[in-house]
Chains A and B, each alone.
Chain A
Amino acid sequence: MPGPVIDDARVAPGHDGEAVLVVQVRHENGGVDSVTLDADCARRLLENCDAQVASDLRGKPWQHLLDVLPR
């Protein structure tokens, strides 16, 4: 699937003291974007990507990030 892919995902402290997952997405031009997920969204992303841990997310297509929240 062409387009941006998840490049990295690392735990960082959130503003409220909770751990958050900062997901980096690499675009086709080489530029890197990032989004921040709370624990629930991170769990759904792992499920969407059939991943167990953050490192399993590497290389997964960006579309998985569109459904980390229920609409």
Chain B
Amino acid sequence: MLDILIRNGRIVDGTGLPAFHGDIGIQGGRLARVGGQLTGPARHEIDACGQVVAPGFIDPHTHFDAQLMWDAQARPALEHGVTTVVNGNCSLSLAPLRAEHRPKLVSMFQQIEEMPDAAFDGAFAWEWESFADYVAALRGRVALNVAPLAGHSPLRMWVMGGAEAQKRAATPDEIRAMQDLLRDCLEAGAVGLSTSYVDMDENLFPVPSRFAHFEEIDALAAVLGEYGRMLQVVPEFYNTDITLARVDQLAELSLRHGIPTTFSPLFDSAVMPENVSRVLDRVGEQFQRGARVWPQVQTRPIDISFNLEVASLFFIALPAWYLTLRMPRDRKLAALGDPGTRQGLIDAAEPGGDTQRFAHLRVRDSRDASLIGRNLGEIAKERSTTPAAALIDLSLDEDLGVHFLSANMGHEDPSRIGPLIANDLVHVGASDAGAHIQSFATYGDTGYLFSEFVRKGHHLSLEHAVRKITGETAQIWGIPDRGLLRSGMAADVVVFDPETIARGDERPAHDMPENGMRYVREARGVDTVIVNGELTWSAKGGYTDARPGVVANA
């Protein structure tokens, strides 16, 4: 008897080949049959008429490290159809890590990924030091699959000590010790190594990985070569020449050691319109040489968020505003409340009564829940005022605590992003899911891929889009047994409506440990999510108690 039978689906198998209609049978955690008309019987049947049946989505750039320890489902990623996550990105992982280095690592996570104290402090029992013990701690605990990277920063701290790791080059003996430690991680199931060239710790001092000379990275890449595993890096932002240099470094390592490499993120911006095309030209040249240097590109646009507590550069083109917001707090509050100054600010932002500049700004967080998600244009109309006046008044009402969002400030032009993510040299990823949780929602990029670039822009076919986040991702990362709907493979399956799949609106949620706040987006159009043959989420029933996730390479 089958465990699950999915009937009448439109099967998009992750290869990019045309969809076809048929049934899918699941037994013992594996795909027993893909296609045809199955007679059953089955313990559980799903009618997928009118829906797509696809491999579970794989997110190659997340920071769910801590969250997975108290939220087995990495909510809300799972309900978006994500069945495998790569964590440990950007040089930061929860293992290998000596107990005495935990406070330091937690501080770095808090600084870089904006994780609150409560996400670590008492939220889970931290009982491992080695990577093998970390993998063991994940086993039986998680609802989705985990493909963990070993972080270069904790690797350095383990071998050199916390202080020395942020001070100097490693000695040859220390490099050999790091190689041995990395080998242990890869043996235990690490999918590769992550490093960072940009991140800062809690003291705004470079993280340990940035003190590594090229010889150290080269030696660690040699160990990755023994296993054919991935090197992930974070390059500098908004400087094309540096990104090109990083591409060349990665290509050299890729060719020398036979490894795949990836850098994330690569994004498009009106500030540097040539950036992406120049980088892709170089990536193309390096692929021609046989190197593998995968630029990760996110699907979602980038927003700017701010409140009037600080002088955001968002206002730098408006001297009256920028100078007022730079005042000491007491003077600023007085100035914003002064009728003459207030009117001067409004006139500067809305010359000649043109109210467009701030009308699109959305309230992203406020004590008044009825305001959240609405734009200043609407709110101003309701209050018979202007958007600039509403911006000031709402801020004063809550002692400058109201947060606003200017959406689509970068990586926002679908006519440029669509062809970019369809490009064969581009790896769709860089979601950063689970990070920056108090600044913006990092969930739902997969839904956005379908709503914006398949349905609306027609930049990718349905099959191409599915391949980009399933079969192609598994292939790039060397994640075995996943990413395709093929008999005998692990049964990670998502059922969704191709006409409605999307990301929900961004909203604040208080679902972190100790009721901490984060921004989330719920899934739209996803019907069922199956991991290793077990139902983990459905639109009708929500999350289940199943914990079928595994460490993908262990």
Contact = CB atoms under 8 A, between A and B. Distances in A.
Establish whether A and B are touching in the complex (CB under 8 Å).
yes
A35 B237 contact: no
Interface in A14-42: 14-22, 33-36, 39, 42
Given A12-B271, A16-B436, A39-B312, A54 B237 contact: no
A53 B321 CA distance: 11
A22 B318 CA distance: 17
Interface stretch (B118-126, B249-257, B300-308): B300-308
Nearest to B199: A15
Contacts of B316: 11, 19, 21, 42, 53-54
Nearest to B305: A17
Nearest to B325: A39
A36 B237 contact: yes
B326 A19 contact: no
Interface in B221-268: 237-241, 265
A35 B236 CA distance: 10
Contacts of B240: 34
> Would you call the interface of chain B mostly helix, strand, loop, or mixed?
loop
Size category, A interface: 20 to 34
Contacts of B313: 11, 18-21, 39, 42
Nearest to B430: A15
A54 B317 contact: yes
Given A19-B313, A20-B313, A13 B304 contact: yes
A13 to B, nearest CB: 4
Contacts of A18: 304-306, 312-313, 439
A13 B114 CA distance: 17
Contacts of A43: 311, 326
A44 B311 CA distance: 13
B509 interface: no
Nearest to B440: A17
Contacts of B237: 14-15, 36
Contacts of B238: 12, 20, 22, 34, 36
B304 A19 contact: yes
A22 B326 CA distance: 20
B539 interface: no
B478 interface: no
A13 B323 contact: no
Contacts of B114: 16
Contacts of A53: 316-319, 322
A56 to B, nearest CB: 9
Contact of A17 (B310, B322, B436): B436
A18 B410 CA distance: 12
Contacts of A13: 269, 302-304, 409-410
A68 to B, nearest CB: 13
Contacts of B323: 52
B181 to A, nearest CB: 29
9 contacts: A14-B237, A16-B114, A17-B439, A18-B305, A18-B306, A19-B306, A39-B310, A42-B316, A52-B323
Q: Would you list the 9 A-B pairs with minimal beta carbon distance, nearest first?
A: A19-B313, A17-B439, A13-B302, A13-B410, A12-B271, A13-B409, A19-B314, A36-B238, A17-B305
Given A11-B304, A13-B304, A33-B239, 6 more contacts: A12-B409, A15-B265, A16-B114, A18-B439, A19-B304, A34-B240
